[in-house]
Amino acid sequence: WPRSAARADGELTVGGVRVTELAREYGTPLFVLDEADFRARAREYRSAFGDADADVYYAGKALLTKAVARWVHEEGLKLDVCSGGELAVALAAGVPPESIGLHGNNKSPAELVRAVEAGVGRIIVDSFQELDRLAEIAAERGRVADILIRVTTGVEAHTHEFVATAHDDQKFGLALSSGAAAEAVRRALDSAHLNLVGLHSHIGSQIFDTAGFEVAARRLAEFLTAIHTEHGAVLPELDLGGGLGIAYVTGDRPLEPKVIADRLLGIVRRECEAHGLPMPRIAVEPGRAIAGPCGVTVYEVGTIKDVEGLRSYVSVDGGMSDNIRTALYGADYTCVLASRASDTEPTLSRLVGKHCESGDVLVRDLYLPGDLRPGDLLAVAATGAYCHSMASNYNHVARPAVVAVRDGAARTLIRRETEEDLLRRDVG
Ligand code: LLP
């Protein structure tokens, strides 16, 4: 739950605002973001990694709006974007281009042109074709692009298959094991229009221990040594990516930013000392760990169906179009009655959406008060990351608004979509 979550007269409040008031004012489903909590988590990462010798890039794919980009910038973080669309939001928000890193395994030529022309600080190169394309684009414009090479370290991250990214058999990066990463480094060093600043690795997402990061860091430090030996080049930066897990349900035990920072900085320092290399500037890219916990989704209960002897199906006014994570990854969530207190015996329930398929589940198994009725508001916790950002218009359901709450006041960051919005693109 967001740090400001509390109860007033039995009602849930976030940022000092009652959820019932938010629902009345902005409608449901509604994404509610605790701004102070978002900023605090950003600051905690910033200070855990030390203010001078490391960069913290907030991963915008978790949740990006212009306001969010400004918060990130104001708290001293940089911003990782992974598409032209995210880059456009970052630039529109006034984030300085030099504090932006651009990712993507298939950046289009137009995206690369935009990044070079805007003067994006780091482009994380993911393939040989991109290396060539980018060198050409920079050359045509008389520029030199600062790049990192995304390295696949062969680490098997302990997380869902869809979000593990450092084993060899997947689409991201250039493999250490096959020599592709070494070949990319060679070509980058040879290019007059690419400035190879360092290496990048992202092992996966929703990870609860640092073991995988440590293996990756060790392999990258060895690779830095090999690069030094072969080319005499000392690459000054090492980006260890994002992926730090958050608590969705009781039992999830995330690590504190300080613990993560100490372990990661420690391992790189030890490895570099052992190989006689200077300590590189470290970067990390947390997305979920900053945005996730500070968001909740508020839904209104529409229908309740008791499936005899099994459970109660509680349908709300959103579903897989505002949170695909349960359907896609088998994610689990915590949900509470938000509009009033109830001391009725809890019933085994399944929280489902309004979409036309039975896989439209938000929470598979949960206990909700036995006196739940249509019109009650429910709040699902830890939906700040990868819910709004992965939202769709499936079944022509309009996407919810995103509101920020702080010190007893609320403001709209993203307005609710309307039927006119949905029809505007339908021009046939
Ligand atoms: N850096 C890179 C290069 C990434 O690919 C990602 C996430 C991050 C940083 C941020 O990872 P985080 O700290 O947020 O875990 N939709 C999935 C997560 C996909 C993550 C993709 N890359 C989910 O909802 O669980």
292 CA closest ligand 1 atom index = 14
Residue 17 phi, psi (nearest 5): -115, 135
- Measuring CA to CA, how many Å separate 407 from each of 6, 17, 290, 300, 302? 13, 8, 19, 25, 31
Q: Number of helices and strands (H, E) in the chain?
A: 12, 21
d(CA 91, CA 83): 12
**What pLDDT shows up at residue 179?**
97
**What pLDDT shows up at residue 240?**
96
- Measuring CA to CA, how many Å separate 52 from each of 48, 70, 124, 282? 11, 20, 22, 10
**Residues contributing to the annotated binding site for pyridoxal 5'-phosphate:** 243, 285-288, 386
**What pLDDT shows up at residue 166?**
72
| Secondary structure letter of residue 391 according to DSSP | -
**What pLDDT shows up at residue 309?**
85
Please write the tens of the pLDDT for every residue from 137-152. 999 999 999 999 999 9
- CB-CB contact of 380 with 368 (8 Å): no
d(CA 355, CA 316): 10
Active site residue 272: no
**What pLDDT shows up at residue 66?**
98
Whole-structure pTM value: 0.97
- Ligand 1 binding residues, C-beta < 6 A: 59, 61-62, 80, 103, 163, 202, 205-206, 241-244, 285-289, 325, 329, 385-386
CA-wise closest residue to 121 among 80, 88, 149: 80
Q: What is the mean pLDDT of the chain?
A: 96
Based on the number of CB atoms within 10 Å of its own CB, is 186 exposed (0-12), middle (13-18) or buried (19 or more)?
middle
Helix (H) / strand (E) containing 23: helix 19-26
**What pLDDT shows up at residue 281?**
96
Task: Tell me which residues of the chain have a pLDDT lower than 70.
Answer: 163
Based on the number of CB atoms within 10 Å of its own CB, is 408 exposed (0-12), middle (13-18) or buried (19 or more)?
exposed
Q: Name the residue of 61, 64, 153, 171 whose CB sits within 8 Å of the most ligand 1 atoms, as the mutation to test its pocket.
A: 61
Q: Name the residue of 79, 158, 205 whose CB sits within 8 Å of the most ligand 1 atoms, as the mutation to test its pocket.
A: 205
**What pLDDT shows up at residue 386?**
98
**What pLDDT shows up at residue 158?**
72
Q: How many CA atoms does the CB half-sphere of 89 hold within 13 Å?
A: 23
d(CA 46, CA 257): 9
How many Å lie between the centroid of ligand 1 and the Cα of residue 243?
A: 6
Domains of the chain, each with CATH number or no CATH: 6-33+294-424 (2.40.37.10), 49-289 (3.20.20.10)
